[in-house]
Amino acid sequence: MKALISSDVRLLANLIQEGKVVVFPTETVYGIGASTKLEASCLRVYEIKGRPKDNPLIAHFHSIESVAGACALGEIGRKLLEKFSPGPLTLILPKKDKFLFPKDLDTLAVRIPRNPVIREWIELSGGPISAPSANLSGRPSLTKLTDVVRYFGETVDAIFQAEEPSFGIESTVVSLFGDRPTLLRPGSIESEELLTVIPDLLIPDSFSKKNTSIVPLSPGTKYKHYAPTAKVTLLSSEEFSFSLKTTIQLETNAWIGFSFEEIDSGGLKIATKEKSFGEYSRICSVSSNEDYASKLYAFFEVCDQMGMKDIFCEVPRPGKGEEGLRNRLEKAKES
Ligand code: AMP
Ligand code: MG
């Protein structure tokens, strides 16, 4: 059955209450949502995206008070939400309401999305709304409505048409459960900012900018993630420029990064005109780490649609926006 595409907040809230599955945009990526109070609906989300059952979902709330009603928020949790929410921060908290999905866990992952229309929808639905990222498990998360329709237009009940994601990578995840606050997944809210509120935050070595080994800390991080079908290679700026100059003629190679000035504009023009999908060709120029993150997954999708075999990604710039982006690039190149 074809999914309804709608911006009608009340109608979409009613669908959630009836147990239906609705894809919606957040400021990070699209999510596949179902009522956190309805186990069967949440389980359908797992089926739709082929998600392993041991990987729990994030519950999306409309306010800090609604989070405090469902979980033991505590002083640090409240401070974090006051500073970074609504926004791309997920907290793992001890669960108070035992009926929320997943029932067999003592913890709940919570987040308050930034778009007020989405928050209004969550509130009208009776909230919270559980949602993993909208992608087939293992593939890059989706950030464009056209991609959502292509992948999920026949399998979900409705698609919420609202402002598209701008951050482009999934939320930062911090656990406040256990002995010490721990960063479980880097994202747009970076460890430096988190440390201003929680100086004792444990930042696993695997997320430090130099260390590239991956240690599974939360269930989701042990799975292959964010990877397109094309092979992803991460290159230093010098290697990136060199690969451009020497292999631009190869029509199954694609590049995303900052340093395009070194190839002659003739070559670049040919590459950008050969083929394109919407706003993207096999060359994607970015102006900052934030711009890079916001374009990355959509570019991966386009590369797969165009049949690219190799995607060359320039390393992020040192500094702001580097942490989450580098983590996603590292995960995309794992095979
Ligand atoms: P996604 O929604 O696909 O962006 O993934 C959500 C992330 O949060 C995954 O890495 C999950 O494993 C993680 N997560 C969700 N709930 C919990 C929880 N209760 N404890 C630890 N990690 C969680
Ligand atoms: Mg995901």
pLDDT at 184 over 60: yes
- Give residue 332 CA to ligand 2 midpoint distance, Å: 13
- Look at 209 and 129; give whichever has higher pLDDT: 129
**138-164: pLDDT as tens digits:** 899 999 999 999 999 999 999 999 999
Which residue owns the Cα nearest ligand 1 atom 22? 218
pLDDT reported for residue 1 = 76
Give the chain's length: 335
Ramachandran sector of residue 132 (left: φ over 0; alpha: ψ -120 to 50; beta: rest): beta
Confidence class for position 261, pLDDT limits 50, 70, 90: confident
The pLDDT, as a whole number, for residue 240 is 94
3-state SS string over 134-198?
A: CCCCCCCCCCCHHHHHHHHCCCCCEEECCCCCCCCCCCEEEECCCCCCEEEECCCCCHHHHHHHC
Rounded mean pLDDT of 3-12? 98
**Residues 169, 172, 173: CA angle, nearest 5 degrees:** 130
pLDDT score for 312 = 97
Using 50, 70 and 90 to split pLDDT, how confident is the model at 260?
A: confident
54: pLDDT strictly greater than 80: yes
Identify the pLDDT of residue 280: 80
Residue with tokens 């609906």: 41
pLDDT band, residue 279 (cuts 50/70/90): confident
- CA separation for the pair 255, 271 (Å, rounded): 10
* Complete domains list, the chain, with CATH: 4-195 (3.90.870.10), 231-333 (3.40.50)
Q: How far is CA 332 from CA 82, 223, 225, in A?
A: 32, 11, 6
Write the residue with the smallest CA distance to atom 14 of ligand 1.
56
Report d(CA 137, CA 140) in Å as an integer. Answer: 8
Instruction: Provide the pLDDT for residue 274.
Output: 64
DSSP 3-state assignment of 310? strand
> Is 62 marked within a binding site?
no
Q: Which of 95, 182, 218, when mutated, tests ligand 1's pocket best, judged by the most ligand atoms within 8 Å of its CB?
A: 218
Q: Residue 30 pLDDT > 50, yes or no?
A: yes
Mutational pocket test of ligand 1: of 36, 167, 173, the residue with most ligand atoms within 8 Å of the beta carbon? 173
Give residues whose Cβ lies within 5 Å of ion ligand 2.
Answer: 133
pLDDT score of 216: 45
Ligand found nearest the CA of 225: 2
Q: What is the structure's pLDDT at 281? A: 86
Q: Which listed ligand is nearest to 139 at the C-alpha? A: 2
| Rounded mean pLDDT, 282-295 | 96
Describe the chain by its helix, strand, coil percentages, rounded to 5.
Answer: 35, 20, 45
pLDDT for the residue numbered 211: 47
Q: Which of 95-109, 176-190, 248-262 is predicted least confidently?
A: 248-262
Residue 137 has pLDDT above 50, yes or no: yes
Does 244 score more than 60 pLDDT?
yes
Contact criterion met (CB below 8 Å) for 77 and 95: no
Q: Kindly give the distance from the C-alpha atom of residue 133 to the centroid of ligand 2, in angstroms, as a whole number.
A: 4
pLDDT band at 214 (very low <50, low <70, confident <90, very high): very low
Listing DSSP states for 86-133 in one string gives SSSEEEEEEBS-TTSSSTT-SEEEEE--S-HHHHHHHHHTTS-EEE-B
Q: Which atom of ligand 1 is nearest to the CA of 185?
A: 10
The DSSP secondary-structure symbol of 200 reads T
Contacting residues for 223 by C-beta, under 8 A, at least 6 apart:
52, 55, 137, 138
Atom of ligand 1 nearest to the CA of 171: 4
pLDDT of 215 strictly over 50: no
The CA 138 to ligand 2 mean position distance, Å, reads 8
Whether 173 is in the pocket of ligand 1, judged by its Cβ within 6 Å, is yes
Q: What percent of the chain has pLDDT over 90?
A: 83
**C-beta 55 within 6 A of ligand 1:** yes
Cα 129 to averaged position of ligand 1 atoms, centre (Å): 14
